[in-house]
Structure 1
Amino acid sequence: MKFTLSWLREHLDFTASIEEITAALNRIGLEVESVENQAEKLSGFRLAKILEARPHPNADRLQVCDVAAGPGYEKVQVVCGAPNARTGLHVVFAPPGTYIPGSDMTIKAGQIRGEASGGMLCSLRELGLGEESDGIAELPEAVVLGQPYAEFAGLNETVIDISITPNRGDALSVYGIARDLAAAGLGHLKAWLAEVVDGQGPSTIKWKIDHADACPYVVGRLIRNVRNRPSPAWLQNRLKSVGLRPNSALVDVTNFLLMDIGRPLHVFDAEKLSGDTLSMTLGHGESFKALDGNTYLLSDQDLIVADEGGVQSLAGIIGGAASSVSNETQHVFIESALFEPVRIALTGRRLGIHTDGRYRFERGVDPALVLPGLEAATKLILDLCGGEASEIVSAGRLPEWQRTARLRFEKLDSFGGAKLQADEVVETLEHLGFTVAARDAASVTVHVPSWRHDIAAPIKLDPSPTLDDNVAERAAQSVKLVEGERDLIEEILRIRGLDEIVPRPLPEFTGKADQSVMAKRMASRRARHLCAALGLTETIGFSFVSTEEAALFNETSEKLSLLNPIAVDLSHMRPTPLINLVKAWHRNEARGAARAALFEVGPGFSPSGQATLLAGLRAGETARRPGARAREYNLWDVKSDLMALLDEMGVPSEAVTVSRKVPPYFHPGKSGAVQLGPKTVLGYFGELHPQIVREMGCSGTLAVFSLNLDAVPARKVKKRQAPEIPSLQPIHRDFAFIVDKKVDAQDLLKSVRGVDRNLITAVSLFDVFEGGNLPDDKKSLGLEVTIQPLHTALKLAEIDAVAEKIVNIATKTVGAELRQ
């Protein structure tokens, strides 16, 4: 929101300096983005006259102009390519050394196609004040040569640009800013009242509202026999000072009131309308050509203003080219309406239209200004363009915006951290436009002004079958009272000064910490550190992916689709961080990276809820080293990562089993699921499915793993004792068992581990063999068994007894046969 000091003075009597004003704005929550002196920005540009324009001897489209630009520049030769450059024309001249803001360049003297050029003749776009044009700016004849252009155009102003939060639609006007500054003690607010214009006869155009939920109230007025012309200098300068381009008096009036009091308006050329009724209705597939020159396809979600001939305006957002006013316009119809903010926002967002009107309507405009805004526009148009105004016509009714809010004085200290006298609190609220409805020693109840939509806003509760209407209404009223009180506290604190709020530390926690939560946090931290130690680099990605990417890694669900995504490719909650890791590898691979080792800890989403996942990826080739060639990463690399993580988190490899029940995005024959018991799945490891690798734009093998940190049991903290280190050498025995192909090696390992837990300390699979002399339905599993005697050396007979038990249990549990 931009405004100038002179415009601010129209509504506020003040003596404060620019520094004091900007400090106050920041203090009350209207953050200053920039302060710009337009005269400094346009320094160097001066008024000039083309004494003679003649064709360039070496270029058909260029002219050589002799220019007079006041003292020091009585006659300067300038080469110009503008088609409208001609003898006698008054122009804007930029001498050498002038910075051109519209082109981001500094003018230098030089030669153009063999002819000297000592400056530049400028368009308004090059001054940063207008849009693209085919020629240079043309000025009136009665100008003083050499006068600074900023002084001539009335642009020697200081412009302040402030940032407005979405809840402060009331501050999107110069009057609204003046009201806040007055409440902060920086001046006296001048009263604004619209002069009522008596209508002369009925209007030949009337309103009709088909959808009161989208437009509850609209008023309008016909003005006959106007003469549209350029706006006077004061109005043009007002608009140009805040970056708006003057158009014509009729359009400039609506733009002025938009910025001045925050009331969006629209004017139709009445002679271009068909029939006698304008309807507020919904679209149904029409094509609509707007004032911006673009054509939009409308839907039944878009509110339109239509006559018998079709769409004439996209309500609250942009007018139509078919009914736009021009210099030939003689009769105009003015619209002033209220629109439902969410519908305006959704339509503008869907169609990609950004206008000042939409910006204000979607944040909420002052409902009490609908009629005064129309009166103010009528008076200005009559003053500038003449004509006769009809009686006002309307449809619908003004919504009930009146509401109250209550503030308990002691809450300012307990909740807001400020000790203030009750009279000071009430005075501040009154300066902001609140009026006292009731007051006692402990509290004050105030009427909320019409322009503050964010104070004690109506509460909508979802209907519940367990609540009757009276209970729901009481619940909503209770919530509204609490929120209204907090809103009032915020108003008092910001007007007093946000920088005056004394920081207070949170109260010291004296209760018992949730040990399970603390344990999970510590486990996550240890897992991160171990991943780094394993050579993995941590990444942090969005929790959103495209719907197509989510579908590759899981079934998509409407529950996980975003209603308002920040981008098209971020429209769905991600099922796993693996998607982000694969995309990161794709970008690195495209830039010639030979390998990647990445991990991310973050949420994964499913229709049943959210889980904290640790995902890892190894892609490309391993590093070359003496005695070992580079090879592609495979499932054994990531299985090793996953098992190391589980061991670090207190889950030893002996406690888990590996199954084949993996998600479909894993390779069906080169992956596994790690389980704790028959039901608890801790994670997965393996190679990504080749089809998904191709769909994601990658090549080669992608080895990945995923660990559900929420499913890992908390590590039990035990008192550590010195480990008993055996003094005897362990014994290693290999066994090869022939089993059915359908037998899982994990079942065989589990049974062998249980033979003698005092002696057998480790069992590992070292070989899987199929084919050769084995039957087609059989395979050979090679196991290494470690037997560790503790106190006395084992005799050969004792070792053979353990081996016999191993063979017997393997035969009994999985039908294994010892391979000879």
Structure 2
Amino acid sequence: MKISENWLRTWVNPAIDSDTLSNQLTMLGLEVDEITPAAKPFTGVVVGEILTVEQHPDADRLRVTTVNIGTTEPLQIVCGAPNVYVGMKAPVATVGAVLPGDFKIKKGQLRGVESQGMLCGASEIDLIDKIDGLLELPLDAPIGMDIRDYLNLDDNVIDISITPNRGDCFSIRGIAREIAVINQLPLNLPTITAVAASIADEKKVAVSTEGCPRYLGRVIKNINTKAVTPLWMEQALARSGIRQHSILVDITNYVLIELGQPLHAFDAAKVQGTIQVRQAHAAEKLVLLNEQEVELNPEIMVIADDEKVLALAGIMGGLSSAVSESTTEIFLESAFFAPLAIAGRARRYGLHTDASQRYERGVDFELPLLAMNRASQLISELAGGDFGPITVVEDVARLPQRDAITLKQAQVDQLLGYAIAGEFIADALQRLGCIVTVTATSEWHVVPPSHRYDMAIYQDLIEEVARIDGYDNIQISLPMMDVMLAKHQDQFELPQLRQTLVTLGYQEAISFSFADAKLEKQLNPAVHPLMLANPISSELAAMRSTLLSSLIPCVQYNLNRQQNRVRFFELGLRFDYQDAQNIHDLKQIPTLALIAVGAKTAESWHAKTQAMDFFDLKGEVEEILAAARVQVEYVRSERAWLHPGQSAEILVEGQSIGYLGRLHPSLENELDLGITWVAELDQQAVLQTYVSNFTQLSRFPSIRRDIALLISDKIKVSEIQQLIEQTGGALLDSTWLFDVYTGQGVEQGKRSLAFALLWQHPSRTLEDAEIKSGMDQIIEVLQNTYQATLRAS
């Protein structure tokens, strides 16, 4: 929201400079994005009156003028503006003036005629040109007055970012209230007097919707359509980012910015019968003020008459009932619309208006009458008119309730962590507009003001007290708490998982939970992407069923920028909607995904660069699983997007928790990726609790024995190793595969597998007979189970 600093200071004027004022607003929670001057610095420009205008003797487009600037002798100025005329008042840059851009005015000659200054258009004094020519000033502009003073150009435009919970601050009045509170100053309220009814004309109003608990309307006739918006109002609106329209529209906009109450003026001659505030009928249509035609539905609240819809309530008026330059009779509306009845409606039609912005956040329900009186007063003063009585239709029971909140001193001290005097608490809340009643020692009942929708619980009140006391005064101290240590249970948590992945050389990617539906189908043709109703973009239009649909674009982005070795991981949600009948059946699955492209290690002088392979990826996944104490087994994966011979399903107790492997070559070609290694794991399966079991290390020597087996290549190595461990018993400390051989000397359909077996006793030295017995038993079980034979060396 943009406001004029000078306008704000007419309401409350603390003895502080603009920067301090800006800092106060920011520390109050109203962040100031920018302060810009109303006009760039310039000097030497005054109000002048054109006394004579004559044709230049040697130039068709130039005029020779004499200009009165309040000095003894008028100035002779050569001017080329087409709109110059005798009696006109305009800005005059005198000799020695410095205009924006360091443009200095000197005495000179134009086509042989002396010129003692320059008549200025708006752009020459850093204003917006509305016409091609001089800036025409009102006829009552004081001759010789500095133009900066006359046009109030020593002003700043303050751009404030207002949070959604502070709808009350979308006005000069709301911002001034905050500044007054923090500086302990009174508000200089404008004098608002009610305009008495001078005619009996009024419109009947019928409200048939719960979304409008209070509606005020007034007929005003015989308005002066030729009335001109005064300069002070035009400037105030322009510095709030609102362009000038007609006198009636400008007045309603002025009251909107000043008080925060949206108003709307209907051309009364275009309204037939009763004003109706109701829900729209299905398929009703309305052409809005911006000439956009919209189709309505019963969720939209409208203003209508007996024949047609006139406006989207609280959003925008209709073109058919809009006021124009010929309008002399209006019906002025000032209403309270419930926030939930307006919220989201404007966005359905691609609209964002000043009215909807305020109504969605909550407008003061006590404000409509004050705003009606203010608008009536300004119309009467600036455009005349005959005023009918104010029609009021309201359902008080449906207005927001301001329930009392109990606040205790102990609650304030406990939540803030330091003591604030009770007198300050009560005073601060009263200055914020609350009704504060002392109910007991250090206890208050607080009724929030009608404009503060964000005060509902005692924590809200404490936040306000801290805000007014100043966030800088919050003391830095460690919280005191009694800690009861629970029974220790280890858990592999997200920070440890992230650290493990970073140690393996992966970088974390953080992406949206939405993906490109086309990529989803490329990865898995069997999937039917669940599409978003209102996507951020076409590339983020589907709920992702795999994190790869988010990571692959990241890899493509990096490859296209000469990053040839890319390794990402992501911890996020994927969505399983295969069996979902509706949105409530949608499963959100926390998932860990890895993707790697390029060499196994970064290029270096001391090692030859090697391409990454399946076992590199498997080793990295096993490091993650080992850190998480997860025991798994692997089987061939049948997933459509994986290479059929270089991928594996990861199982825990027979249930899949994910997969690893290479993308299918055809998919790599389609996506222009090159060889790409991927893995996805169920995050919950990795982040599990476990109890550490410590076993004392043996001080006695271990003994290694190796066996080489000829065995069918259809049998999984994991099954063989598991059988060896089960058969070896307690004395077998560990076993691992260290050699695989196929080829000459090994018949087709078989392979040679060499296992190392490490034997160790925790409390004594093993004897050869014990080891031989264990080895014989293992060999016998392997022969009986898998028809394995020992391979001769």
Q: How does 1:41-190 map to 2 (within 5 A)?
A: 135=132, 138-140=135-137, 150-190=148-188
Conservation of the 8 A alpha-carbon contact between 1:639 and 1:705: no
Give the 3-state SS of the residue equivalent to 1:316 in structure 2.
coil
Conservation of the 8 A alpha-carbon contact between 2:435 and 2:446: yes
Amino acid at match of 2:206: K
Give the counterpart of 1:735 among 710, 715, 721: 710
- Structure 1's 728 and 454: CA in aligned 2 closer, same or farther, altered over 3 A? closer
Residue matched to 2:785: 809
Give the counterpart of 2:509 among 533, 536, 540: 540
Aligned-partner Cα distance in 1 for 2:742–2:399: 79
Give the counterpart of 2:621 among 639, 642, 651: 642
Residue matched to 1:386: 384
Give the counterpart of 1:683 among 658, 662, 671: 658
Amino acid at match of 1:710: Q
Range with greater deviation from structure 2 (342-351 or 373-382) = 342-351
Give the counterpart of 2:593 among 603, 606, 615: 615
Q: How does 1:385-784 map to 2 (within 5 A)?
A: 385-398=383-396, 399-401=398-400, 402-436=402-436, 439-456=439-456, 483=457, 485-507=458-480, 510-512=483-485, 515-516=488-489, 519-521=491-493, 524-534=494-504, 536-546=505-515, 548=517, 576-604=546-574, 612-620=590-598, 633-651=612-630, 655-660=631-636, 666-667=642-643, 670-679=646-655, 681-688=656-663, 697-712=671-686, 713-714=688-689, 716-719=691-694, 721-722=696-697, 730-737=705-712, 739=714, 746-751=718-723, 753-756=725-728, 761-763=735-737, 766=740, 780=750, 782-784=752-754
Query: 1:300 Cα shift?
Result: 4.2
Conservation of the 8 A alpha-carbon contact between 1:287 and 1:296: yes
Query: 1:141 Cα shift?
Result: 7.9
Query: 1:385 Cα shift?
Result: 1.1
Aligned-partner Cα distance in 2 for 1:417–1:627: 58
Conservation of the 8 A alpha-carbon contact between 1:14 and 1:186: no
Amino acid at match of 1:706: E
Aligned-partner Cα distance in 1 for 2:212–2:123: 38
- Structure 1's 800 and 63: CA in aligned 2 closer, same or farther, altered over 3 A? farther
- CA deviations over 1:66-100 (Å, ceiling 9, x no partner): 9999999976798x9xxx77888987799998557
Give the 3-state SS of the residue equivalent to 2:344 in structure 1.
helix
Amino acid at match of 1:403: D
Give the 3-state SS of the residue equivalent to 2:377 in structure 1.
helix
Aligned-partner Cα distance in 1 for 2:421–2:548: 58
Aligned-partner Cα distance in 1 for 2:46–2:54: 18
Amino acid at match of 1:589: L
Residue matched to 1:347: 345
Aligned-partner Cα distance in 2 for 1:540–1:73: 70
Query: 1:365 Cα shift?
Result: 0.5
- CA deviations over 1:378-431 (Å, ceiling 9, x no partner): 222122111111223344524333422222233222223453444443333322
Tell me the TM-score normalized by structure 2: 0.79
Does 1:375 find its partner at 2:405? no
Aligned-partner Cα distance in 2 for 1:236–1:17: 25
Amino acid at match of 2:595: L
Aligned-partner Cα distance in 2 for 1:383–1:700: 76
Q: RMSD in angstroms over aligned alpha carbons?
A: 4.9
Aligned-partner Cα distance in 1 for 2:482–2:394: 56
- Structure 1's 627 and 158: CA in aligned 2 closer, same or farther, altered over 3 A? closer
Aligned-partner Cα distance in 2 for 1:592–1:725: 55
Conservation of the 8 A alpha-carbon contact between 1:550 and 1:574: no
Aligned-partner Cα distance in 1 for 2:42–2:540: 43
Aligned-partner Cα distance in 2 for 1:588–1:233: 56
Conservation of the 8 A alpha-carbon contact between 2:213 and 2:399: no
Does 1:216 find its partner at 2:191? no
Amino acid at match of 2:569: F
Conservation of the 8 A alpha-carbon contact between 1:289 and 1:320: yes
Tell me the TM-score normalized by structure 1: 0.76
Query: 1:615 Cα shift?
Result: 2.0
Give the 3-state SS of the residue equivalent to 1:221 in structure 2.
strand
Query: 1:291 Cα shift?
Result: 3.0
- State how many pairs are aligned: 750
Give the 3-state SS of the residue equivalent to 1:358 in structure 2.
helix
Aligned-partner Cα distance in 2 for 1:801–1:14: 95
- CA deviations over 1:441-482 (Å, ceiling 9, x no partner): 2422133321111222xxxxxxxxxxxxxxxxxxxxxxxxxx
Unaligned runs of 5+ in 2: 106-110, 577-584, 761-765
Query: 1:184 Cα shift?
Result: 3.0
Amino acid at match of 1:301: E
Range with greater deviation from structure 2 (214-223 or 419-428) = 419-428
Amino acid at match of 1:642: V
Amino acid at match of 2:684: D
Conservation of the 8 A alpha-carbon contact between 2:271 and 2:321: yes
Conservation of the 8 A alpha-carbon contact between 1:206 and 1:394: no
Give the 3-state SS of the residue equivalent to 2:492 in structure 1.
helix
Aligned-partner Cα distance in 2 for 1:788–1:266: 89
Give the 3-state SS of the residue equivalent to 2:462 in structure 1.
helix
Amino acid at match of 1:545: F
Aligned-partner Cα distance in 1 for 2:693–2:278: 73
- CA deviations over 1:761-820 (Å, ceiling 9, x no partner): 224784799xx997xxxx545533334577677999997875454232214xxxx89999
Give the 3-state SS of the residue equivalent to 2:551 in structure 1.
helix
Aligned-partner Cα distance in 2 for 1:318–1:45: 42
Does 1:226 find its partner at 2:223? yes
Residue matched to 1:301: 299
Conservation of the 8 A alpha-carbon contact between 2:708 and 2:752: no
Query: 1:242 Cα shift?
Result: 2.9
Query: 1:264 Cα shift?
Result: 0.8
Amino acid at match of 1:29: G
